């Protein structure tokens, strides 16, 4: 006995060793078979990480496992993935491993885990799954039979998988996710039976419209297989779409032209709760707790040939009468529900499919809503004929149905409307083919969203629908502190609602108070997160869907720290661009005219404006407008009026105000001054100290100048102002950071230069010298708050004195009229040829007597002493009445 057991044990060990060794020997054979099959029969690239063979875990069958399988398409879908699978396992009898080279492998079981299949049809109608080579293109080989398989399947599974179908030609997308499908049966017989179980989530969109979104699908199907005639018959089948049960029977037969279908279906129950079950669970919530009355019936027949030229005929009907439902946790119920709808096709031509909603009526509280619609030509130019009549209290929607609205919504909607149109008319704006008739009114409508700062309240709105357009008879609304009323018309309301068309129309808008901040996004300016109504990454944009003209008239418009009065003008909005024309407003005691553009199409808003200012209060406007303050900082000390035209372009910041570092343009300004306060300007105070013969508080009242600005720098063209009979030419530039480089050239009459200069002029007694002036240049740099001022007043006086003394000397020496005239000409020329004059003086000085030198020195000393006398108050009294005999 012990010997027998020992022999048995040895045999078992040998058998186990063989089971372990066989895979090591045969794995290369299976690898080669699979790869050869793919190379010879597939017009695609197949790859996998590993193929393993096991005999122990599946004994008495062998199991082949393929890991990380991929099939990559070739042109015209080159490098696109058709199939991926984490693993695919095949089970077959062990004896198949010892079959001869010319015998095919028979597979009994297939299990695929995490298989992802993407089926695609491009715009040319080419499919990516037609990867099997045509028979005539396959070159026979001596061992071609060794690369074949036969399927004698008893069981198959598809676990945690997904299938996507994309049809670019007809804009259809179908997704089946979370697929778990299994089947049991025998495929090898001529007549066999297959039992299947399927659960999945399905989504379907047609022409970018979602009809199914993650709807749950459950199907238990018993299928008779007639493999000889390719007929698959469904019997004892029950499926679920969400929670709606459906029973169906019939068959599908594969024929040369396509698939012949004959299937009928119906819901086995007739409760209205079945209708709620069609809706996705997200919207229907817990329908088992819903109280319903009335019936709901759905039945249908699909019969005919699916081919390139035809579809089956359709006869699908939905019918519900005297129905109602009420959710236990909600206050309102929906009553008097009647549904009579059908989908039909009687010819088998796809374009002859039509939908009739003969009646869709319901009542919520005291509000009754009735409607019907007829839709034809579904695969071509869709034709729609609809009728709506009823009242909806929008606040009752969430009180009767468990829908969670992202935004607050309330108000009363009343409407009675007939509409008839085709989609091509909407796409091409063929308004003559859009037949609308009726009216819609809205009252006490409130809408809030995180896209807007404050809830919008529409007190009332009245729209009349006419062929071609919609008239906005009245519109009265408010948000925040703003109110506005509007009238006008909309050209393509249906195109906006049903297609991707922009909202086109013309509107007249009036407002008593319009606060721009009420329509702007709050982000960083709101520190309390609980008060924020918008997300941090949003910014103000001109809506892309608007293509309209707005004629505005507002009594008050509040923008930042400005209050604009009597605003009127035209606003043209298109492609995220707002064009302002003929816009006028009262501001800073004057008038402002605006023309220009603002665009938010790029990452940062861009503006290009022409501004015309008339009779602006200077001190107020230069204090409140950052741009004016940057262009002319010194103007804040001026009291008076401003007339100006400014052309300016640049970028806007997050508050929709100009970014000064990006603006460029030019300006022409006229300043009508009534008063200047030098004490408020370090520049004028500094000049006042150095040029004490000028009272800068009494400068010329009217000033005109032109300036240009770009990249943060302002260049001022030369302009002249006067003080009494003293002209002052100013030019230069400054930056928006207040650094500056200016020059002021003052033509100073000699009579303001002291007694000694005047005495010299009187002693010469020459009429030609009565209007003698000298140019004094003040160079100004530094900053506006801390200027650095340098003048050449001292040297100018010395040069003039030397010239006058030289003239006097020449006259005393009686050296000739020509020499005297030459010197006088030099003076009257305002020392424009100073180098020449100075050289003349120098040559003359070499022959001077000591008495002449003393006269010059004494003259300069006396003049400078008079100019820089310390008591300025007396000097200013003297200069008020210029007198050549008075000391300064």
pLDDT digits (tens, 9 = 90+) for 768-779: 565 677 788 888
Instruction: Map tokens 């670019």 to a residue.
Output: 168
Q: What is the pLDDT of residue 494?
A: 66
pLDDT: is 351 or 105 the higher one?
Answer: 351
Residue-level pLDDT at 24? 53
819 has a pLDDT exceeding 60: no
**What pLDDT digit, counting tens, does each position of 673-708 carry?**
766 766 777 777 777 777 777 777 677 667 788 888
d(CA 71, CA 41): 13
Is the pLDDT reported for residue 602 higher than 50?
A: yes
Task: Work out the burial of residue 637: count CB atoms within 10 Å of its CB; fewer than 13 is exposed, 13-18 middle, 19 or more buried.
Answer: buried
Token reading at 133? 């080579």
State pLDDT tens for residues 826-859: 554 544 434 333 333 322 333 333 443 444 344 4
Closest CA relative to residue 342, chosen from 313, 374, 312, 370: 374
Given a cut of 60, whether residue 7 has pLDDT beyond it is: no
Distance CA 788, CA 122 (A): 75
Which is higher by pLDDT, 564 or 280?
564
Distance CA 77, CA 168 (A): 13
Residue 221 has pLDDT above 80, yes or no: yes
Q: Which of 68, 96, 97, 66 is nearest to 81 (CA)?
A: 68
Q: Which of 145-159, 447-461, 565-579, 788-802 has the lowest mean pLDDT?
A: 145-159
Which tens digits make up the pLDDT trace of 799-812? Answer: 666 766 766 666 65
Structure tokens at 374: 């007829």
> What separation in angstroms does the CA of 210 have from each of 146, 214, 344, 776, 877?
48, 10, 21, 82, 89
Percent of the chain beyond pLDDT 90?
Answer: 10
The dihedral of CA 539, 545, 550, 554: what is its sign?
negative
Which residues does 158 contact at the CB level (< 8 Å), separation at least 6? 112, 115, 179, 180, 181, 182
Confidence (pTM)? 0.57
Burial class (CB in 10 A: 0-12, 13-18, 19+), 158: buried
Cα separation, 268 vs 274, in Å, equals 10
CA angle 586, 590, 596 (to 5 degrees): 60
Examine the pLDDT at 73 and tell me if it is beyond 70. Answer: yes
Distance CA 66, CA 91 (A): 12
Is 183 in contact with 155 (CB distance < 8 Å)?
yes
Whether residue 449 has pLDDT greater than 70: no
Under the banding of pLDDT at 50, 70 and 90, the label for residue 84 is very high
pLDDT tens digits, residue range 500-534? 677 788 889 999 998 877 765 544 433 444 433 34
Q: pLDDT band for position 656 (50/70/90)?
A: confident
Confidence label for 144 from pLDDT (cuts 50, 70 and 90): very low
Longest CA–CA separation in the chain, Å? 166
CA distances to 120, 175, 567, 812 from 77, in Å: 9, 20, 59, 110
Q: Which letter, b or e, does each residue of 240-275 get, where b requires 16 or more Cβ atoms within 10 Å of its Cβ?
A: bbbbbebebebbbbeeeebebbebebbbeeebbbbb
Average pLDDT over residues 541-548: 76
Which tens digits make up the pLDDT trace of 551-588? 989 898 887 777 888 988 898 888 888 888 888 888 88
Q: Are 651 and 627 in contact (CB under 8 A)?
A: no
Reading the block at residue 408, the tokens are 């607050």
Q: Are 295 and 359 in contact (CB under 8 A)?
A: no
| Segment among 250-259, 742-751, 764-773 with least mean pLDDT | 764-773
- The β-bridge relationship of strands 383-393 and 577-587 is unpaired
- Residue whose C-alpha is closest to residue 719's, from 671, 666, 785: 671
Residue 187 pLDDT > 50: yes
Question: Residue 606: is its pLDDT beyond 90?
Answer: no
Whole-angstrom Cα distance, residue 680 to residue 639?
Answer: 12
Comparing 133-147, 607-621, 780-794, which segment has the lowest mean pLDDT?
133-147
- Residue 812, pLDDT score: 55
């Amino acid at each position: 006995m012990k010997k027998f057991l020992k022999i048995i044990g040895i045999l078992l060990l040998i058998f186990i060793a063989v089971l372990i060794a066989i895979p090591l020997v045969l794995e290369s054979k299976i690898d080669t078979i699979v790869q050869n099959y793919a190379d010879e029969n597939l017009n695609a690239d197949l790859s996998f990480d590993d193929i393993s063979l096991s005999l122990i875990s599946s004994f008495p069958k062998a199991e082949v496992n393929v890991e990380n399988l991929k099939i990559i398409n070739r042109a015209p879908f080159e490098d696109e993935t058709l199939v991926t699978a984490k693993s695919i396992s095949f089970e077959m009898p062990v004896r198949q491993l010892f079959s001869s080279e010319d015998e095919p492998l028979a597979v009994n079981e297939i299990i695929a885990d995490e298989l992802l299949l993407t089926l695609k049809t491009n715009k040319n109608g080419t499919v990516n799954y037609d990867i099997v080579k045509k028979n005539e293109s396959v070159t026979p080989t001596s061992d071609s039979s060794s690369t074949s398989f036969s399927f004698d399947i008893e069981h198959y599974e598809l676990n945690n998988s997904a299938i996507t179908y994309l049809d670019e030609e007809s804009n259809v997308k179908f997704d089946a996710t979370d697929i778990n499908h299994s089947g049991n049966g025998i495929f090898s017989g001529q007549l066999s039976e297959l039992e299947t179980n399927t659960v999945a989530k399905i989504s379907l969109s047609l022409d970018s419209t979602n009809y199914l979104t993650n709807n749950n699908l459950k199907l238990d199907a018993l299928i008779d297989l007639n493999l000889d005639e390719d007929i698959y018959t469904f019997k004892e089948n029950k499926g679920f779409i969400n929670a709606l049960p459906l029973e169906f029977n019939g068959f599908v037969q594969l024929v040369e032209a396509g698939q012949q279908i004959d299937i009928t279906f119906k819901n086995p129950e007739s409760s209205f709760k079945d209708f709620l079950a069609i809706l996705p669970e997200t919207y229907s919530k817990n329908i088992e707790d819903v109280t319903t009355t009335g019936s709901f019936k759905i039945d249908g027949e699909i019969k005919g040939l699916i081919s390139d030229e035809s579809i089956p005929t359709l006869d699908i009907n939905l019918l519900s009468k005297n129905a109602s439902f009420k959710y236990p946790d909600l206050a309102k119920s929906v009553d008097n529900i009647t549904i009579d709808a059908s989908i039909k096709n009687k010819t088998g031509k796809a374009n002859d499919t039509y939908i009739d909603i003969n009646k869709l009526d319901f009542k919520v509280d005291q509000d009754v809503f009735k409607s019907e619609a007829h839709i034809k030509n579904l695969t071509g130019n869709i034709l729609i004929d609809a009728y709506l009549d009823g009242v909806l209290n929008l606040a009752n929607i969430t009180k009767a149905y468990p829908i969670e609205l992202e935004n607050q919504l309330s108000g009363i909607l009343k409407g009675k409307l007939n509409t008839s149109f085709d989609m091509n008319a909407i796409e091409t704006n063929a308004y003559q083919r859009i037949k609308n008739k009726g009216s819609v009114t809205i009252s006490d409508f409130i809408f809030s969203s995180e896209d807007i700062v404050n809830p919008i309240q529409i007190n009332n709105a009245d729209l009349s629908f006419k062929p071609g357009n919609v008239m906005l008879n009245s519109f009265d609304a408010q948000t925040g502190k703003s109110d506005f009323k509007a009238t006008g018309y909309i050209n393509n309301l249906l195109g906006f609602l049903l297609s991707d068309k922009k909202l086109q129309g013309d509107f007249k808008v009036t407002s008593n108070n319009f606060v721009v901040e009420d329509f702007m996004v709050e982000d960083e300016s709101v520190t309390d997160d609980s008060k924020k109504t918008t997300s941090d990454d949003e910014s103000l944009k001109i809506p892309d869907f608007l293509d309209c003209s707005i004629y505005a008239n507002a009594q008050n418009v509040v923008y930042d720290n400005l209050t604009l009065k009597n605003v009127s003008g035209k606003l043209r909005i298109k492609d995220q661009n707002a064009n302002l024309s003929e816009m006028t407003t009262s501001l800073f005691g004057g008038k402002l005219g605006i023309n220009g553009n603002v665009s938010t199409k790029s990452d940062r808003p861009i503006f290009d404006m022409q501004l015309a200012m008339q009779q602006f209060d200077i001190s107020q406007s230069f204090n409140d407008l950052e741009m004016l303050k940057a262009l002319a900082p010194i103007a804040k000390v001026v009291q008076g009026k401003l007339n100006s035209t400014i052309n300016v372009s640049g970028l806007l910041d997050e508050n929709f105000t100009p970014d000064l570092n990006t603006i460029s343009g030019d300006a022409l300004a006229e300043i009508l001054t009534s008063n200047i306060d030098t004490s408020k300007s370090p520049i004028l105070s500094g000049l006042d100290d150095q040029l004490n013969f000028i009272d800068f508080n009494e400068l010329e009242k009217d000033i005109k100048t032109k300036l240009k600005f770009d990249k943060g720098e302002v260049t001022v063209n030369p302009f002249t102002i006067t003080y009494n009979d003293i002209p002052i030419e100013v030019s230069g530039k400054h930056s928006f950071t207040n650094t500056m480089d200016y020059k002021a050239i003052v033509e100073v009459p000699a009579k303001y230069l002291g007694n000694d200069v005047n005495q010299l002029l009187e002693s010469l007694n020459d009429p030609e010298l009565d209007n003698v002036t000298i140019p004094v240049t003040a160079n100004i740099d530094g900053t506006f708050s801390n200027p650095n001022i340098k003048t050449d007043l001292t040297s100018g006086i010395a040069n003039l004195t030397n010239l006058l003394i030289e003239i006097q000397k020449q006259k005393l020496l009686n050296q000739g009229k020509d020499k005297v005239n030459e010197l006088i000409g030099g003076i009257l020329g305002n020392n424009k040829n100073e180098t020449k004059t100075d050289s003349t003086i120098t040559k003359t000085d070499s022959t001077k007597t000591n008495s002449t030198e003393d006269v010059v020195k004494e003259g300069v000393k006396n003049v400078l002493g008079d100019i820089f006398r310390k008591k300025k108050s007396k000097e200013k009294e003297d200069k008020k009445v210029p007198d050549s005999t008075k000391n300064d």
